[in-house]
Amino acid sequence: MKARMIALLNSFPTMPRKGITDWSGDFVTLPKDGGGLLDAYRGCSSGEKRAIEFCLNVWNTETDWTEYGYRRFNLAHAIGIWDDKHRAAFLAWCHDPFFP
């Protein structure tokens, strides 16, 4: 399932250049001084941040990701700032959704 999460993240066109290849629990929840996804998140554009927030929400809807330093995913906000290619990545997931 971790590979599927990486594939989902990288379906957003700007994300592959970030080089995120790990989607383990430790990688995602490491504190700010420990590296991991949060460090990548902090260096992202607002559209890239919304892609990460969306993937975190898909991965685990029960977790309050704000406790780890992420913002809460807001679909209306994301749709408003994503370009057509990012919206297409989201819609592709909508057509064939999965939840780990």
Q: List the domain boundaries for the chain.
A: 2-95
Predicted TM-score of the model (pTM) = 0.90
The residue with greater pLDDT, 42 or 54, is: 54
- Is residue 65's pLDDT more than 80? yes
The tokens for 94 are 């909508």
Question: Which tens digits make up the pLDDT trace of 7-48?
Answer: 999 999 999 988 888 887 777 876 555 567 888 888 899 999
What does the alpha-carbon distance between residue 49 and residue 71 come to, in Å, rounded to a whole number? 8
Predicted confidence (pLDDT) per residue in 79-93, tens digit:
999 999 999 999 999
Longest dimension (CA), the chain: 37
